[in-house]
Homo-oligomer: A and B are copies of this chain.
Amino acid sequence: MRSIALLTDFGLQDGYVGIMKGAIATISATIPCIDITHDIPPQDLWAGRFCLMNSAPYFPKRTIFLGVVDPGVGSNRRSIAIQFAEGFFVGPDNGLASGLLDIFQAIAAVELNNSKYWRTEQNVSQTFHGRDIFAPVAAHLATGVSLNNMGTNVAIDALTKLKLEPYTRNHNQITGTIQYVDHFGNLITNIPNHCANDLSEVVRLGDRLIPKVTTYSNVLPNHICLLQGSHGWLEISANQNNAQQQLSLTVGTTLTLISQ
């Protein structure tokens, strides 16, 4: 039995996530469900994209990633499932799967228009496709139903993708973008860890000089540092403190690291 890994912006307060798991268990009570997170900021596709991309490589092969961050639910945005060499994605075609498309090898995609695999063939909610379409489709995939039963083929190139400006190098400086801020306030850029090798031991960021270190505790408490993050990208962090609050930077901010 394949596992289902869930990521939504539903929060845990209202029971929506429990309802999706109930819909899964109704199809098969033995499918393992693992929560990635349900605290994506409401309708924040960028945060959803990042968390999904960042988590997926650590799950077993053939895991089904059930992602629901869905500001366009009920509109004409497509419902899709994607088969990768490494697993599956089920959710809206709105860019949420962009990160998976970047790091995994896509094999096929379908629009979910075969209502046989939905919770009910009639009376599908216009506002809760997670319960009525995505969870049941994910459960059927987990039990081994083939992707091409779920709907009509869609070209991989035709899937919606979010666009992130790539990082650039220029002589002694590297410019990138903050693509995520985590729970601890660590600022995660889109500059790969290996770029750290090209930077000096202390770099300039705006009017600050910050040391390049291997772990938080290499600087004094509250001090800002640059390190190779566990996600694979350079992070700006504060030892035992919140770098976002200290620096007042946020997702989407462009920043330039200058070797000294």
Q: Which residues of A contact B (CB under 8 A)?
A: 1, 3, 5, 7, 10-19, 21-23, 25-26, 29-30, 32-39, 42-43, 51, 54-55, 58-60, 63, 71-75, 119, 125-128, 131-132, 182-184, 214-218, 227-230, 240
CB distance from A163 to the nearest CB of B (A): 21
Please list 13 pairs of residues, one from A and one from B, whose beta carbons are closer than 8 Å in the complex, sorted by A's number: A11-B183, A12-B37, A14-B182, A15-B55, A21-B35, A42-B184, A43-B240, A72-B217, A73-B215, A73-B216, A74-B214, A74-B216, A126-B215
Given that A215-B126, A217-B74 are contacting pairs, would A7 and B12 also be in contact in the complex, using a CB cutoff of 8 Å? Answer: no
Bound-state CA distance A67–B257 (Å) is 35
Question: Do B10 and A183 touch (CB < 8 A)?
Answer: yes
Question: Do A51 and B127 touch (CB < 8 A)?
Answer: no
Bound-state CA distance A154–B190 (Å) is 41
Given that A74-B214, A74-B217, A75-B217 are contacting pairs, would A12 and B38 also be in contact in the complex, using a CB cutoff of 8 Å? Answer: yes
Q: Chain A's interface: helix, strand, loop or mixed, by majority?
A: loop
Bound-state CA distance A229–B16 (Å) is 13
Bound-state CA distance A18–B74 (Å) is 29
Q: Which residues of chain B are near A125, meaning CB under 8 Å?
A: 230
Q: Looking at the complex, which one of B75, B128, B227 makes contact with A126 (CB distance below 8 Å)?
A: B227
Q: Which residues of chain B are near A229, meaning CB under 8 Å?
A: 127
Q: Which residues of chain B are near A14, meaning CB under 8 Å?
A: 37, 51, 182-183
CB distance from A173 to the nearest CB of B (A): 25
Q: Looking at the complex, which one of B15, B74, B240 makes contact with A71 (CB distance below 8 Å)?
A: B240
CB distance from A68 to the nearest CB of B (A): 12
Given that A26-B58, A29-B60, A71-B240 are contacting pairs, would A34 and B18 also be in contact in the complex, using a CB cutoff of 8 Å? Answer: yes
Q: Which residues of chain B are near A71, meaning CB under 8 Å?
A: 216-217, 240
Q: Which residues of chain B are near A23, meaning CB under 8 Å?
A: 58
Question: Do A26 and B60 touch (CB < 8 A)?
Answer: yes
Q: Which residues of chain B are near A39, meaning CB under 8 Å?
A: 11-13
- A-B pairs with lowest CB-CB distance, top 3: A74-B215, A128-B230, A18-B36
Bound-state CA distance A63–B222 (Å) is 36
Q: Which residues of chain B are near A214, meaning CB under 8 Å?
A: 74, 126
Q: Which residues of chain B are near A58, meaning CB under 8 Å?
A: 19, 22-23, 26, 119, 131
CB distance from A159 to the nearest CB of B (A): 20
Q: Looking at the complex, which one of B13, B18, B127, B217 makes contact with A216 (CB distance below 8 Å)?
A: B127
Bound-state CA distance A75–B240 (Å) is 13
